[in-house]
Amino acid sequence: MSSSIASPMRVPTSSATPQKFAAPSRTSSKMDRFIPNRSASNLDSSQYNIALEMRDVENTQQNVASSPSKEYKKQLAANLGTDASARVLAFKQKAPAPPEGHSSHLAALYSANATDMKSSKKFRAVPSQPDRILDAPDLVDDYYLNLMDWGSSNKVAIALSQTVYLWNASGGDIQQLLATENDSYVTSVNWAGDGRHIAVGFSDNNCQIWDAERLRPIRNLGGHSSRVSSLSWNNHTLSSGSRDSTIIHHDVRVRDHIVKTLRGHQQEVCGLKWSPSGSQLASGGNDNMLMIWDARHDGPTHTLTDHQAAVKALAWCPFQSNLLASGGGTADRSIKFWNTTTGVCLNSIDTGSQVCALQWNRHEKEILSSHGFSQNQLCLWKYPSLAKVAEMNGHTSRVLHLAQSPDGTTVASAAADETLRFWKCFGDGSSSRSSQGKSVAKAASGMSSSLLRTVNIR
């Protein structure tokens, strides 16, 4: 290396005397340029001493943290006003009550963001046993008939072969409304909205309207060529479905009562239900078809063919106007839920057995179904999750008919085992205090009021 390059450092060499790379300047005596002699240092020994000192410091800190001095404990107990051997946070007794009239300035701070907590949902108990059992001898075991209905006057109409009886649910008394002659038998019954008049269909192709208070017939309504197996009221219009596959609208106010005949089904019309608003009619047939009819038109709005067996069980939702539930027979075994505006199937569930009848709960979003072989049970389903809420057993044969009390708390079931059973499975309405229950109850009450109009019959 050239001697013209000045370097402030000296590199030790193997010789004892360091080699000079540049001559000292005149100002070198005034500069502090201490450079240790590495060759004279013992680095291993220095590193050992430093590690030893650090270990002593760590041990000292641990001893201080783990074993506080007795003097510190004594001072802490004196300042807290407690015994030195007592625990400071011992949850053995309640805190002393504040002085009377004391108000904390922090109350507003801690309650500023406080919100009302949602009350935990109370699960109501669904009885597994019927509230009452009545005998129903000679009840016809026919899936396609509709032989029971519960009117707004709190009377249950039940057809037993050739006779129709009225059972008063308020007092328990029984009246015979009518008895047929010859070989004719009753095939369907349906109360009018006023709770006074009742329509009765017969196997001789006719239907009649009876005054349930005076126990006498008012008028005969013909038009079908086979038995009348289903009936449904819409204010002053009585719709009848028959084995001749037709549906006839009867205007009971006029002499020429047949105002419209609907044709679409290929076999017996065994299910018939008007919507609560009276704008749509649902019909189910033994041809496995479900049809939705508009009150203003002659043809079906929707022809739904998803079911694989006869469609008898029909029920309009009380809290959603365009929601319809339908149940299929033995080869289908499903409950399907429909949007009747669009004709779309919203949901479906396989129940495992023949679906004979359906009833919506007017207090909760639930639906009750009755079934045939093999368990002959009643099932309560939550909507729209379709989770099974309860299952009620007791009938020994298929449960053909369901009817709901005017207050919506009790359901009557009629089965081929010739018994009527009354189930308080829909509660007492107290659950409607919730926001959801209030909306359902409000919709149901609106439906009931619309059906209680007086029917003028000539």
pLDDT digits (tens, 9 = 90+) for 67-76: 556 777 777 7
pLDDT band at 87 (very low <50, low <70, confident <90, very high): low
Instruction: State both tokens at 45.
Output: 């020994």
Q: What is the pLDDT averaged over residues 312-336?
A: 97
pLDDT band at 65 (very low <50, low <70, confident <90, very high): low
User: Strand pairing partners for 399?
Assistant: 415
Instruction: State both tokens at 230.
Output: 């289903």
Q: What Å distances lie between residue 242 and 204, 239, 302, CA to CA?
A: 11, 10, 20
Is the per-residue pLDDT at 4 higher than 60?
no
pLDDT, position 385 = 95
* DSSP single-letter state for residue 455: P
pLDDT, position 444 = 47
DSSP track, 383-414: TTT--EEEEE---SS-EEEEEE-TTSS-EEEE
Q: Tokens 């007791």 label which residue?
A: 394
Residue 71: phi and psi, rounded to 5, are: -65, -40
Q: What is the pLDDT averaged over residues 3-25?
A: 47
Of 300, 298, 220, 290, give the one whose Cα is nearest residue 255.
Answer: 220
pLDDT band at 92 (very low <50, low <70, confident <90, very high): low
pLDDT band at 419 (very low <50, low <70, confident <90, very high): very high
Using left for φ > 0, alpha for ψ between -120 and 50, and beta otherwise, residue 341 falls in alpha
pLDDT band at 452 (very low <50, low <70, confident <90, very high): very low
Strands across the sheet with 197-202, in order?
A: 186-191, 197-202, 207-211, 216-221
Span 222-232, pLDDT tens digits:
999 999 999 99
The residues, any chain, with a CB within 8 Å of residue 102's CB and separated by 6 or more, are none
Distance CA 125, CA 315 (A): 24
pLDDT, position 38 = 61
What is the three-class DSSP state of 324?
strand
Q: What Å distances lie between residue 83 and 67, 73, 76, CA to CA?
A: 19, 10, 10
Contact 255, 458 (CB under 8 A): yes
pLDDT, position 68 = 55
Element (H, E) at 157: strand 155-160
Which amino acid makes up residue 158? I
pLDDT band at 455 (very low <50, low <70, confident <90, very high): very low
Contact 188, 228 (CB under 8 A): yes
* DSSP single-letter state for residue 89: S
What is the three-class DSSP state of 72?
helix
Span 116-140, pLDDT tens digits:
555 555 567 899 999 999 999 999 9
Q: Tokens 């650090």 label which residue?
A: 54
Contact 169, 155 (CB under 8 A): yes
Is the per-residue pLDDT at 411 higher than 50?
yes
Q: Within 10 Å of residue 174's Cβ, how many Cβ atoms?
A: 13
Is the per-residue pLDDT at 285 higher than 90?
yes
* DSSP single-letter state for residue 107: H
User: Strand pairing partners for 368?
Assistant: 359, 380
Span 37-46, pLDDT tens digits:
666 666 777 7
Write down the H helix ranges in 355-453.
435-451
Q: Where are the beta strands (DSSP E) in 117-206?
A: 132-135, 148-150, 155-160, 163-168, 174-179, 186-191, 197-202
Of 250, 251, 247, give the one whose Cα is nearest residue 282.
Answer: 247
User: Strand pairing partners for 292?
Assistant: 282, 302
Is the per-residue pLDDT at 16 higher than 50?
no
Of 276, 278, 277, 285, give the one whose Cα is nearest residue 249.
Answer: 278
Integer distance in angstroms from the first to the last C-alpha of the chain?
A: 134
Is the per-residue pLDDT at 204 higher than 50?
yes
